[in-house]
A and B are shown apart, each in its own frame.
Chain A
Amino acid sequence: MADLIKIRATLQGDVADVKVLMNHPMETGQRKDVKTGQLVPAHYIQTVTATLNGRKVMEAQWSQAISKNPFLGFKVKGAHLGDRVAISWVDTKGDQNSAEAVIGG
C-alpha cells in the first residue's frame, strides 16, 4: 500500500527538520456513522517510533485526540545530508506501517 506515510526531511545547519504525514482515520469511538447512526469503533495510532540511521531518536504515544491523517513534525540534531530517517506506527488493531526518507538539503 503506497503513501500511507509521507516523510520530508530537510537539513538546516546540523538539524534535520522532519515532517511526516500519516494516512489513518484516527477514529475516536465517539463519532456516529451518518448513514447507520451507529458509533464508529475507536481505531487510532497508539505508538510512533522515529529512527535516524536505524537508531531510535523519539517515540510518541498517542490517543484518539490526534487529528485524522496525523501530522508530526520533529527535529533531529547532529544529522547529515543523506542520513536515513524512518517512521513506524502501530495502531489499536495491531496494524503497523513504516516508511523511510533520506535527508535532503
Chain B
Amino acid sequence: MNTLRRTFLQGSGALSLVLAAGLAQPVRALAAEWNKAGFDSKGTPETLRAIGAGAMIESNAITIKAPELAESGMSVPVEVSSQIAGTQSIAVMVERNAQPLAAQFNFESGMAAYVSTRLKLGETSNVRVVVKAGDKVYTAVKQVKVTIGGCGGTTVQS
C-alpha cells in the first residue's frame, strides 16, 4: 500500500499536479519521512524502539486531556500539551491498539507544543505521549476506559 503510494507520487502526472498546487516541497519531504517502521510496529516496546524513544523521563510537564471513560472508542478526544522547553515533537500512542502509534506531530520553532485530535481506541487502553526535546525523550500516560471499541469488528459506519 505504501509502495503503491510512493509509485503514485513518483508518477510524472501526480508530480506535476503537486507542483501545480505549489506544494511540492512539503509533500515530497513528508512522503519520504512517514515513519512506516513506527506505524507498523506492534506492541508498546517495539513501537517505542521504532520511534527512537529509548531512555524516557516520566514528566508531569506533559498534560494529556482525555476522558476517563469513553462510551465509544470510535472517536475519543485527546488533547496534549507540553511545557517542556524546546519540544520538537509529540507522538501519541494507544498502547492496546494492534499498532499503537496513532500520530506524530513535528513542530517548527514558534509553535506552541499543543495538539488536539480524536483517536480510535479498540479497547480500554493507556494513551501514551512521547515528547522529544533536544536529545531527551519525555513521556506521560493516561488511561481511557472504553465501553465499545472503535477499530472495526461490529462497528458500523454509515
Chain A residue, CB-CB nearest to B40: A63
* With contact pairs A56-B26, A88-B26, A98-B21 given, residues A31 and B155 touching in the complex (Cβ less than 8 Å): yes
State how many angstroms separate the Cβ of B18 from the closest Cβ of chain A: 7
A10 within 8 A of B: no
Which of A28, A49, A73, A92 is in CB contact (< 8 Å) with B115? Answer: A73
| 8 A Cβ contacts from A16-42 to B | 25, 28, 30-32, 34, 42
Q: How many A-B residue pairs have CB under 8 A?
A: 151
A64 vs B151: C-alpha distance when bound (angstroms): 9
- Chain B interface, >50% SS class: mixed
Chain B residue, CB-CB nearest to A15: B112
Whether A32 lies near B39 (C-beta < 8 A) is: no
Interface residues in B, total, Cβ within 8 A = 54
* With contact pairs A31-B152, A76-B112, A77-B110 given, residues A61 and B35 touching in the complex (Cβ less than 8 Å): yes
* A-chain residues with CB within 8 Å of residue B85 when the two chains form the complex: none
Whether A56 lies near B5 (C-beta < 8 A) is: no
Whether A59 lies near B26 (C-beta < 8 A) is: yes
